Homo-oligomer: A and B are copies of this chain.
């Protein structure tokens, strides 16, 4: 349902820090027009977007933030949803948008490979999308690209794949405070363990990336697990949160492994720590030919996630109705119309 082949009309749902960044990019993006915005926060509803987002111009194209997706304009093509990581919690919003036949791109991490933890819900959303002519995709830089879609695409030049290993190693020193807090920087090991047990240190989506790669490549895994441990400071460090004494946690190392008959066929390592040496992203495929692919310096997470969400919209609009992954849509790329 595209009313204007030259302009895709988009609603943005969820104006948290990441959502604000994406909505800000959306306003300046050729080919996309932000025509509505929604957030449940009563402090935002009713305000104009130019008031909420610094950098968004006031004037004719300004929009008022709505409190609910019940009150959207009729003529919409696509939606960006940046609300929560849990697909079950996100589902009512996704259903309402799919019922309108929209192309919905979300940063909901579990949506990148929803069959891992929400197989039944995935089937329901797929059926709804097909029935109403809607399209649904979860993406981001990770999950959505570096540790799943990219290794899967790299395998296109392989005639045999025995196993895949992926690393995302980041220096958290230059990242925002919430990120440093999320990786447990400055915590002593007892408090790190408490936070680990409560599940608040986990990078959501690593197991989804694992299932994306292992399933797509037909690696036949019968078992998988995820582990999480501190990256321990080898000397006294400091970050925006405060000092990190030697022996305390400088960050987190999270590993997800898929096995087939006891053999590891896919292993993903996510590591983020203060003053991490040699940050990089790397994909290694054991197969024929073997491949060893590396981003020097890594890929900046926040910028990249905002970019891939918007770059995926035109590609998703070209895909058939239904629930998609980054491997089932035409290629998402910069400049796509």
Residues on A facing B (Cβ under 8 Å): 25, 141, 145-146, 149-150, 152-161, 216-219, 287-289, 291-297, 299-300, 303-308, 310-312, 318-319, 326-337
Contacts and interface: CB of A to CB of B under 8 A. Distances in A.
Contacts of A305: 157
Given A145-B156, A333-B327, A299 B307 contact: no
A23 B303 CA distance: 44
B333 A155 contact: yes
Nearest to A311: B156
Given A307-B157, A334-B217, A289 B300 contact: yes
Contacts of A157: 141, 145-146, 299, 303-305, 307-308, 311
Given A156-B145, A308-B157, A335 B217 contact: yes
B307 A159 contact: yes
A328 B319 CA distance: 10
Nearest to A312: B156
Contacts of A150: 153-154
Contacts of A294: 293-296
Most buried by B among A146, A158, A217: A158
Given A157-B305, A159-B306, 11 more contacts: A155-B335, A156-B308, A156-B311, A158-B304, A217-B335, A219-B335, A288-B303, A288-B307, A318-B328, A319-B330, A327-B336
Given A289-B304, A291-B295, A303-B289, A333 B159 contact: no
A96 to B, nearest CB: 27
A218 B335 contact: yes
Contacts of A326: 331
Contact of A330 (B219, B308, B327): B327
A295 B150 CA distance: 13
Contacts of A303: 157, 159, 288-289
A325 to B, nearest CB: 9
A326 B330 CA distance: 9
A210 to B, nearest CB: 15
A332 B156 contact: yes
A300 B158 CA distance: 10
B327 A158 contact: no
A152 B333 contact: yes
A335 B164 CA distance: 13
A219 B335 CA distance: 8
A292 B298 CA distance: 8
A288 B336 CA distance: 16
25 contacts: A25-B159, A145-B156, A149-B331, A155-B311, A155-B334, A156-B312, A156-B333, A157-B305, A157-B307, A158-B311, A159-B303, A159-B307, A159-B310, A288-B307, A291-B299, A292-B296, A292-B297, A293-B294, A293-B295, A318-B328, A319-B330, A327-B331, A327-B333, A329-B330, A330-B330
A163 to B, nearest CB: 12
Nearest to A149: B331
A211 B326 CA distance: 24
